């Protein structure tokens, strides 16, 4: 839900949208404005065939390498590289990033997902049993937000040793580098720094409509705090490309 809400906050008007490293197209329906034509680019033909044509009637499946995409440069109002495709690209991550940038039209959007750290969770929420946390989250968000900040955060334990050439990104550094290339940062959001990787807490909260709405608001409010970016297991970034400069401007 946090990813979908993020994508829906950042559509640029335009006919074409591209999802680089789309996999089965889980988030493809939410990239770009309603009614746009969407391109799913992936190395795996099997993943492309799993895309639901009924849910995305205007999808165009393209098998190819995101580092050298067989797509028109500057031809897309919205380009997304999600699922930490940049991190899994390893040494080729810069080539993938540069190629994604080149696809974006003037006044378009570039949407990225990266891994910064191992993830974290709120000490306040995680010292409570899941059902107690769910009841607490029915309280006003401001109250839980202040208490969450006061008690701080704990890093998640490493899930497994990292293998190969997996690459982490510092979101602030990435934003600075793209800014130097002319991009404007619209939003940076750490995904779920409060509940973290806790299926039991998530299940308990989701069963309560009011608490669920509050936890989504809490996660988004906490996720834009720069202190949360460096440890997050997932960070979403939205950038806009300014219009071309006209003579004498």
User: What is the C-alpha separation between 42 and 97, in angstroms, rounded?
Assistant: 15
Q: What is the mean pLDDT of residues 152-158?
A: 87
Residues in the chain: 249
Beta strands of 100-234 (E only): which ranges? 104-114, 120-122, 153-155, 184-190
- State the pLDDT at residue 134: 86
Q: What is the mean pLDDT of residues 46-67?
A: 92
User: What is the C-alpha separation between 96 and 180, in angstroms, rounded?
Assistant: 18
Phi, psi of 51 (to 5 degrees): -65, 135
- State the pLDDT at residue 198: 76
Q: Would residue 53 count as lying in a domain?
A: yes
- Pairing mode, strands 235-240 and 104-114: antiparallel
User: What is the C-alpha separation between 153 and 148, in angstroms, rounded?
Assistant: 8
Whether 163 has a pLDDT exceeding 70, the answer reads no
List pLDDT tens digits, range 75-128. 999 999 999 999 999 899 999 999 999 999 999 999 999 999 999 999 999 888
Number of independent structural domains in the chain: 1
211 three-state secondary structure:
helix
- State the pLDDT at residue 164: 56
User: What is the C-alpha separation between 212 and 59, in angstroms, rounded?
Assistant: 32
Q: List all residues 6 or more positions away from 117 whose beta carbon is below 8 Å from its beta carbon.
A: 155, 168, 230, 231, 232, 233
In the structure, what pLDDT confidence band is assigned to residue 26 with cuts at 50, 70 and 90? very high
User: What is the C-alpha separation between 89 and 84, in angstroms, rounded?
Assistant: 9
Q: Could you tell me the CATH number of the domain that includes residue 85?
A: 3.40.50.150
List pLDDT tens digits, range 193-208. 998 877 888 888 888 8
- Residue, of 196 and 73, whose pLDDT is higher: 73
- Tokens standing for 180? 């130097």
In the structure, what pLDDT confidence band is assigned to residue 247 with cuts at 50, 70 and 90? low
In the structure, what pLDDT confidence band is assigned to residue 24 with cuts at 50, 70 and 90? very high
In the structure, what pLDDT confidence band is assigned to residue 150 with cuts at 50, 70 and 90? very high
List pLDDT tens digits, range 206-241. 888 898 999 999 999 999 999 999 999 999 999 999
The residue range of the domain holding 96 is 2-117+160-190+229-240
Question: Minimum mean pLDDT among 14-18, 64-68, 244-248: which range?
Answer: 244-248
Q: Would residue 96 count as lying in a domain?
A: yes
Angle at 144 between CA 140 and CA 147, to 5 degrees: 145
Q: Would residue 220 count as lying in a domain?
A: no
Q: Would residue 233 count as lying in a domain?
A: yes
Contact assessment for residue 76 and residue 12, using Cβ atoms and an 8 Å cutoff: no
CA dihedral of residues 123, 128, 130, 135 (deg, nearest 10):
-110
**DSSP class of residue 126?**
H
Q: Would residue 151 count as lying in a domain?
A: no
- State the pLDDT at residue 162: 55
- State the pLDDT at residue 206: 86
- State the pLDDT at residue 119: 92
What percent of the chain stands above pLDDT 90? 77
Whether 45 has a pLDDT exceeding 70, the answer reads yes
- State the pLDDT at residue 157: 80
Contact assessment for residue 22 and residue 42, using Cβ atoms and an 8 Å cutoff: yes
Q: Would residue 177 count as lying in a domain?
A: yes
Closest C-alpha among 176, 174, 156, 158 to residue 236: 174
The partner residues of 113 in beta bridges, in order of sequence, read 236
- State the pLDDT at residue 159: 64
């Amino acid at each position: 839900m946090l990813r979908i809400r993020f994508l829906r906050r950042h559509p640029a008007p335009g006919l074409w949208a591209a999802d680089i490293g789309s996999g089965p197209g889980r988030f493809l329906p939410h990239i770009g404005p309603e009614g746009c034509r969407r391109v799913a680019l992936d190395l795996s033909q099997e993943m492309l065939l799993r895309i639901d044509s009924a849910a995305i009637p205007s999808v165009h499946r393209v098998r190819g390498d995101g580092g050298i995409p067989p797509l028109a440069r500057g031809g897309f109002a919205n380009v997304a590289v999600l699922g930490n495709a940049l991190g899994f690209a390893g040494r080729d991550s810069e080539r993938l990033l540069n190629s994604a940038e080149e696809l974006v039209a003037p006044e378009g959007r570039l949407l990225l997902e990266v891994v910064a750290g191992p993830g974290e969770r709120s000490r306040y929420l995680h010292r409570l049993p899941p059902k107690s946390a769910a009841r607490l989250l029915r309280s006003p968000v401001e109250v839980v937000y202040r208490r969450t900040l006061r008690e701080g955060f704990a890093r998640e334990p490493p899930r497994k040793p990292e293998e190969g050439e997996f690459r982490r990104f510092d979101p602030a550094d990435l934003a600075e580098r793209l800014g130097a290339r002319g991009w404007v940062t619209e939003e940076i959001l750490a995904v779920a720094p409060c509940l973290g990787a806790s299926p039991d807490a998530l299940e308990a909260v989701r069963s309560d409509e009011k608490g669920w709405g509050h936890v989504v608001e809490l996660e988004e409010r906490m996720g834009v705090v720069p202190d949360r970016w460096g440890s997050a297991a997932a960070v979403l970034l939205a950038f806009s490309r300014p219009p071309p400069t006209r003579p004498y401007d």
